[in-house]
Chains A and B, each alone.
Chain A
Amino acid sequence: MDSALIPEGVTRCSFGKFALGIIIVGGVLLWGVYAMMLIWLKGLNQTNMNDFYGFALWIWADLGVIALGGGAFFIGLLRYIIGKDELKNIINYAVLIGFICYSSALLILAIDVGQPLRSWFIFWHANIHSMLTEVAFCLSCYFAVLTIEYIPLILENRQLNKVPFFHNLAHNMHEVMAIFAATGAFLSFFHQGSLGGTPAVLYGRPFAFREGIFIWPWTFFLFTWSAAAYGPCFTLFVTRLTEKITKKKLVKQNVIDLLAKISGWTMGTYIIAKIIDTWYWATVTAPDMGSNLIDFYSNNPFYGIWILVVEIVICGIVPALILLTPKGRSNPTLLFTAVLLACIGVLLNRWVMVLQVMAVPVMTFENWVMYIPSWQEVATTILPVAYGIILVMISFRYLPIFPQERELNS
């Protein structure tokens, strides 16, 4: 039925099967849209946020998807600026994943603010001292860059590419893509960093506060670094998942191996920096503010010291070691475990830097406050996931995402 739109030389499932998939995921998407409409019409009272939890599930989801979408900027940097040519075979997917992650982040932000129609005030009345201002500017600009990077991919659709204008436009955009990749890397450095700075500048919150250099707290660099380390892991994870679902080999092992190795090094160095940061914060910064490390991890039902161990050891050191060894990278199960653990690790880091910051009591006569999101919050957080799956399904079916697919499956 839609064979004329499918890239030449590749096979896809029947249209009926594809449509059924879209309908099922679309149902989840509609559930999310319903929750979103409830929130926009009735307000944030539809959530379980409160005056202790001004930041909650959505801000975590925002920070999470932006970290996971970091593969787009880092792989772009490696491919176009550093010259790792093999990565051209995975960059399209990285861009698509990045596009989904960043558009999701913007959507979640639009739901999260109390007065969505005033969102433009962040640009109009910008406070240059605020980390969120920098996030807003860089995030919007980088989303524009990702859109520019995604457009030539759309224009390479078999039918669209027959139009000379679209063909030439796609070709010329590819030619100048290095400029956009460099711009993307530059913008990403700042917004990933600013997101790291968002909790770290809160000097009224000893759990979040970090010292730093000039105006940048240490987490500014840690967040950028972790996005560079863990973002490509998410690209590898989704690629492997796509291969399993489609039962096809889509990217050659040498490409996977190279990206996994680079991620391993980035992650390994990041984890060392993270350990130093945690050590300094626990022994100098927090005690100066009157708190012991254990004060942040005790007398509550959820935030035990285990969370720090899981983040740094199980989801940091372990995947880094797997990715750094050739045996670990060549074993599909180990590799998949490593990238999965890495994704959990970065999401856990963002969770701690948002939710635990809110949970820890600061005044001596206050107690820990726990939070469970409402179904509306959960539905609107799943909404971008459903949207992402649909966009991946459509893009995979109709666009030449994987240049090696034909060769690997002939």
Chain B
Amino acid sequence: MKEEGKHKKAKKYGMVINLDECTGCGACMVACMAENNVPFREDESNKLDSIAWMRVYKLTNGKSYPEADICYLPRPCMHCEGDHGHSPCVSVCPATATDYNYETGIVSQIYTRCFGCRYCMAACPYHARYFNWWDPVWPEGSTKYLSPNVSPRMRGVVEKCSFCFHRYQLAMDKAYLEGRTVLEEDEYQTSCTQACPAGAITFGDLNNPEHKVHQLAKPDNKHGGRPGNPNVFRLLERLGTNPKVYYMSSREWVRQAGDNYIDNEDFAKNYRH
């Protein structure tokens, strides 16, 4: 326990998703559902009431051949920091069922405390929060394959991506047993990160200059973590939600699709880094 008592800098776990590398295969979605015991229904065709902590969107530039271009955008929970932890959803939950962890920067959801008012869903502009409209029904025999580290949710509560927080807890347990309080970069990785065959997702501590996410995003903590890398952007940056999921693309139309701009604004002039 050499490090015990030493002042530890707060971590800020986040993600950089390289949209130029994402092929839209959906492996991240599948891995997430399996890892986190995400319930599913026989008919999942209505995407307005089916749960996907990680959802892949298909974006197009709206042009016709030969300039037509598409981009797949995986969207987990953004784990917004907002203004000093007042993320859009955390500040509105009346029963403190969702919380901002200042040690990790992760926004949690306490399923057994949530009473299903859905105010957090109204607050989230990313639609990253899902309501359990039904009780989960697991096909016969499949309960054996549920993860023992993640509690399944009941009908009537909200759930969302946790950045696989149980993996963080397991990694920290292991580290404590080994007399450490600091995790190595590869000790805590989300399931979507590991499942991505293209290696498009990078996960780590945004506050740690040695971590790849920090080097890719170059977050400016004095300005809510705004990216310093000109090819990196965050969704709806202008709203001040200060998300911890960053996107990277060399294509300007993709970066522009990340936010809203009024007609007379010159994106290239005003918002390009």
Binding site for B on A (CB under 8 A): 43-45, 49-52, 54-55, 112-116, 118-119, 121-122, 124-127, 129-133, 136, 198-199, 201-206, 287-292, 295, 357-358, 362-366, 369
Is the contact region of chain B dominated by helix, strand, or loop, or is it mixed? loop
Interface residues of B in 73-132 (CB under 8 A from A): 73, 82, 86, 88, 91-97, 113-119, 121-127, 129-132
Interface contact A203-B88, CB-CB below 8 Å:
yes
User: Can you report 10 A-B residue pairs in the complex whose CB atoms are below 8 A from each other?
Assistant: A50-B46, A52-B127, A118-B114, A118-B115, A126-B96, A198-B119, A204-B123, A204-B239, A363-B125, A364-B260
**Shortest Cβ distance from A209 into B: residue:** B239
Tell whether B34 is near chain A: CB-to-CB under 8 Å: no
In the complex the two chains form, what is the Cα distance from A112 to B239 in whole Å? 29
Interface contact A362-B236, CB-CB below 8 Å:
yes
Taking A114-B115, A116-B115, A125-B113 as given, write out 17 further A-B residue pairs in contact, using a Cβ cutoff of 8 Å, ordered by the A residue number.
Answer: A45-B49, A45-B134, A50-B46, A54-B118, A114-B116, A114-B131, A115-B115, A121-B95, A121-B97, A122-B94, A129-B86, A132-B119, A136-B94, A204-B124, A289-B238, A357-B122, A369-B48
Known: A55-B118, A121-B113. A205 touches B94 (CB 8 A): no
**Shortest Cβ distance from A52 into B: residue:** B48
Tell whether B241 is near chain A: CB-to-CB under 8 Å: yes
In the complex the two chains form, what is the Cα distance from A113 to B115 in whole Å? 6
Interface contact A364-B130, CB-CB below 8 Å:
no
Is the contact region of chain A dominated by helix, strand, or loop, or is it mixed? loop
Interface centre among A43, A45, A114, A118 (most CB of B within 10 A): A114
Type the 1/0 row for B142-166, where 1 means its CB is closer than 8 Å to any CB of A.
0000000000001111100000000
Q: Please report the number of residue pairs spanning A and B whose Cβ atoms sit closer than 8 angstroms.
A: 165
Tell whether B258 is near chain A: CB-to-CB under 8 Å: yes
In-complex Cβ contact of B240 among A45, A51, A114, A203 (8 A): A203
Known: A115-B115, A289-B260. A132 touches B133 (CB 8 A): no
Q: Which residues of B contact A43 (CB under 8 A)?
A: 133-135, 155-156
Interface contact B114-A115, CB-CB below 8 Å:
yes
Q: Which residues of B contact A365 (CB under 8 A)?
A: 57, 59, 73, 257
Interface contact A363-B126, CB-CB below 8 Å:
yes
- Tell me the smallest distance from the CB of A343 to a CB of chain B, in Å: 25
In the complex the two chains form, what is the Cα distance from A358 to B48 in whole Å? 13
Known: A43-B133, A114-B156. A201 touches B92 (CB 8 A): yes
In the complex the two chains form, what is the Cα distance from A201 to B40 in whole Å? 33
Known: A202-B123, A205-B122, A362-B125. A119 touches B135 (CB 8 A): no
Tell whether B1 is near chain A: CB-to-CB under 8 Å: no
List of 6 A-B pairs having minimum Cβ-Cβ separation, nearest first:
A114-B116, A114-B156, A290-B260, A54-B118, A204-B125, A54-B121
Q: Which residues of A contact B117 (CB under 8 A)?
A: 112-114, 122, 132
In the complex the two chains form, what is the Cα distance from A241 to B239 in whole Å? 47
In the complex the two chains form, what is the Cα distance from A119 to B114 in whole Å? 9
In the complex the two chains form, what is the Cα distance from A366 to B235 in whole Å? 13
Interface contact B131-A54, CB-CB below 8 Å:
yes
**Shortest Cβ distance from A117 into B: residue:** B115
